[in-house]
Structure 1
């Protein structure tokens, strides 16, 4: 079809008029011009990081729709560990690689401690979240310290009823015992089952015990409401919010954003009810949980007449929300991957059992489901005089004599890379102040594989074999080296 025929078609009745085409083209050019003029450029004398050009108005958004972690890892091999990728109209600096991420989040932690001002973040905890807020001032630091102190107090408080080293460990071991018993019961009744839902409820129960001081039955409706809301949050956030990177979309209706707002309102309502009950029953001589500890610290600050960083009562709900949400999905997913690896590699399961000093299950004795062979005696760690056995439950203090078990956990984080990105960061100091940074942990995991003498991809225990598991721990935790933001990193571990 030639140019003349095209013009005839455009001007024909019932079809797009030439005027409409010109208006659309002019609008597109105007938007493109505005985008380029508002785009943040590197200071004079410096160059922007290399990266793909992307499409006008969309950037590389279409390319990143599916498996963005794989796409960014591939791009990093071409452009390097520091590259600029445009998502929508927003330039984002993507950091990859062991040394680069460690430089940003450990050595220059204060420079990269900010969060970008994304519309989605403003609706989490009414914009007052420790994790998602753009604030990095003195009030924010005071609130973070408050949360850290509450968690520390709870995690070191001695258990009055058991031999556990602290109340936190008591809640975890009790829930773990229940979960194992439940799994055995389900296997006997059904022969097979999906363990994920049961693990989600157990993790929620531990967090409820930490925050609210009580354990629920697994069929308790209040507990199930929390779990269901958390499931909805995962479904909504997995889709993402394009309006975070394409400002024009913020003025258009979005069902996904409506669901996101509804989730935040319902979850805050659940927490508000629990916190109000704690205020009504608070006793400074009986600190039951993290919420009580937060209330106590806020009251102490109010008693300090010269305290410039007092925390209003309503802000406690925001702190509880941060503590409750941090690690919920991470811990559940980590448990799921661990279970999958142990089922896939039963010979590793046997080695962990041997390190714990337990006798092997009759079902597994002499048979390896993966290789079809019984493991040789040299392939399993020899039990020591300090093995745990079945006489007591494992404790955190046993960590030093369980190197193989710890190596399995760390290598599971690296090998699975189930959280390939961190939450976006914003540079608050330095020559690129205000730039958004996205961290690609999957590429870092690949770098760790090279560092650990190229472990076999099918063996999730190579970090132990090369005796470098402890040295790589800062990387292998799924959220990366958490020096600045997360107030609950050690408790999640």
Structure 2
């Protein structure tokens, strides 16, 4: 087997299965961005404007950034520093690198950097109602975020009434993982090899969903329109069949929390049906692509590194055994598995940038003058591959996250990984996303052994997009580790 990994990728944003903004080639979120000639005018005495590469008239730095902007900006940050200005067309964009600088901006000065730029492409997501992409960061946005947090908490803690799973989330993921295992075994028997990524989706029997997922070759506007119709239908059906005594999923949890708010706290803030649809759109779209991409990278890494796969499976056998399925409560007793997931997040950095931020007021960062309304890009890839933070960052090494005894996660190291953003705009579904990846991965590796067909070249060069994926790989092979039981 030949492994190929280059520090280059396709110039076009590929973004994956979920809904995406319609973007220009090579750089996210920049389509039809209307801007002024300069934001860095009238700098107060004692401050300075951020440095950056000189662009060409009209186009700015677009030509430099057409391919692998995360790599180009990382390279430029070594010359210009952690606070840098580039131009997309005539629009200045602030690019932040360096963990300390990003923490300073998004956490310590979080109120200043919690805005979203009013980008043209964002209007196509949930008809401009998306809380995730909305420029609004006021009371309505805060109420929607709190509502969503409570709904996610309810869904992830509500006991399952029909199975031995400890909560609804665990039940849903366990059932889905069992389906995936059955499908993988069927494909292996029929084809002797397969491409696993297209089968890491939810509800495989929903032909309407599969039709939406497979529209990758269409423009973003059409994808979002079709996806919006699909989500609206889901929410309407949930309202019709809603039963407070039988919460089925996150959509039910949202409806329940919304009804509770009508007479309680924040009752003055209206939560419309359109807002509920927008929240479901965000959770479904972002979670769908993030979890499936994380799983596809995880399974690629265990196939590439059989010694690492064996360490995970030995840990599973020792602490869980083979008589029951892994549960969320097992996370604390599986440190090597947790370290592997952290290293997968760091090494792949499949979310190279956060969704763009913007400044809510004029501010100062590291001595640089930053006007109100400045578009801000956060280079997560740079942090995850920063030689100042990581020893041999290009190596895949889960042990870097373990203590000397290998028995616990080193939290100082794990906190350095950036994948879900930081601060007030940090991904709201982060906890559930991490839990889903853990459950899927442990259930799959408990029962199956993954490998790649010998003698075939495997290209794991990330293909640049909102979520970065490796090229299509039809070389996956699997085999059962032991006779399987159907019980969860």
Task: Report what 1:13 is aligned to.
Answer: none
For residues 159 and 174 of structure 1, the distance between their equivalents in structure 2, rounded to whole angstroms, comes to: 12
More helix by share: 1
Structure-2 separation of matches of 1:109 and 1:165: 35
Structure 1 pair 40/285, CA: closer, same or farther in 2 (3 Å)? same
Q: Residue in 2 aligned with 1:439?
A: 378
Q: Equivalent residue of 2:402, what SS?
A: helix
User: CA shift at 1:456, angstroms?
Assistant: 6.8
1:85 corresponds in structure 2 to 86
2:41 paired residue number: 41
Partners of 1:48 and 1:305 in 2: CA distance? 44
The 1-side partners of 2:35 and 2:151 are apart by 45
For 1:355, which of 315, 327, 340 is the aligned residue?
315
Matches within 5 A, 1:337-352: 337-352=297-312
Q: Give the equivalent residue in structure 2 for 1:144.
A: 145
Partner in structure 2 of residue 418 of structure 1 = 350
> Among residues 235, 241, 245, which one is paired with 1:275 in the alignment?
235
Aligned counterparts, 1:151-166, within 5 A: 151-166=152-167
Answer yes or no: is 1:476 the counterpart of 2:417: yes
The 5 Å alignment of 1:81-480 reads: 81-199=82-200, 201=201, 205=202, 216=203, 218-229=204-215, 232=216, 259-303=219-263, 307-357=267-317, 383=318, 387-431=319-363, 432=370, 433-447=372-386, 450-454=388-392, 457-464=395-402, 469-480=410-421
Displacement after TM superposition at 1:430 (Å): 4.2
Structure 2 runs not aligned, ≥5 long? 1-33, 364-369, 435-488
CA contact (8 A) 1:452 1:463 kept: no
Deviation at 1:99, TM superposition (A): 1.1
Instruction: Please give the per-residue CA displacement for 1:210-255, whole angstroms capped at 9, x wherever unaligned.
Output: xxxxxx4x243133134225xx2xx56xxxxxxxxxxxxxxxxxxx
Name the CA shift for 1:35/1:279 in 2 (closer, same or farther; >3 Å).
closer
Per-residue deviation, 1:482: 5.3
> Is residue 82–residue 97 contact of structure 2 (8 Å, CA) maintained in 1?
yes
Q: Deviations over 1:318-377 (max 9, x none)?
A: 1111111122211111111111111111011111111111xxxxxxxxxxxxxxxxxxxx
Q: Quick check: 1:49–1:84 contact (8 Å CA) kept in 2?
A: yes
Q: Which residue of 2 aligns with 1:21?
A: none
Distance between the aligned counterparts of 2:245 and 2:205, measured in 1?
32
- In structure 2, distance between residues paired with 1:458 and 1:266: 39
Aligned to 2:412, the other structure's residue is in SS state coil
The Cα of 1:314 is off from its aligned counterpart by 2.6
In terms of Rg, which structure is larger? Answer: 1
Query: 1:180 is paired with a residue of what secondary structure?
Result: helix
Which whole-Å CA distance do the structure 2 matches of 1:40 and 1:478 have between them?
Answer: 30
Give 1:275 shift. 1.4
Partners of 2:212 and 2:223 within 8 A in 1: no
- Count of aligned pairs between the two proteins: 390
Distance 1:62 1:42, change over 3 A: farther
Any conservation in 2 of the 1:130–1:485 contact (CA below 8 Å)?
no
Change (3 A) 1:454 1:183: same
Q: State whether structure 2 residue 43 is matched by structure 1 residue 57.
A: no
The structure with higher relative contact order (CA 8 Å, sep 6+) is 2
Instruction: Judge conservation of contact 1:482–1:489 (CA < 8 Å) in 2.
Output: no
Give the 3 Å change call, closer, same or farther, for CA 288–220 of structure 1 in structure 2. Answer: closer
The question of whether the paired residues in 1 share the 8 Å contact of 2:148 and 2:279 is answered with: yes
Q: Secondary structure at the match of 2:411?
A: coil
**SS at structure 2 position matched to 1:476:** coil
Could you state the TM-score of these two structures normalised by the residue count of structure 2? 0.75
| Deviation for aligned residue 1:296 | 2.7
CA contact (8 A) 2:36 2:91 kept: no
2:413 and 2:73 map into 1 onto residues whose CA distance is 23
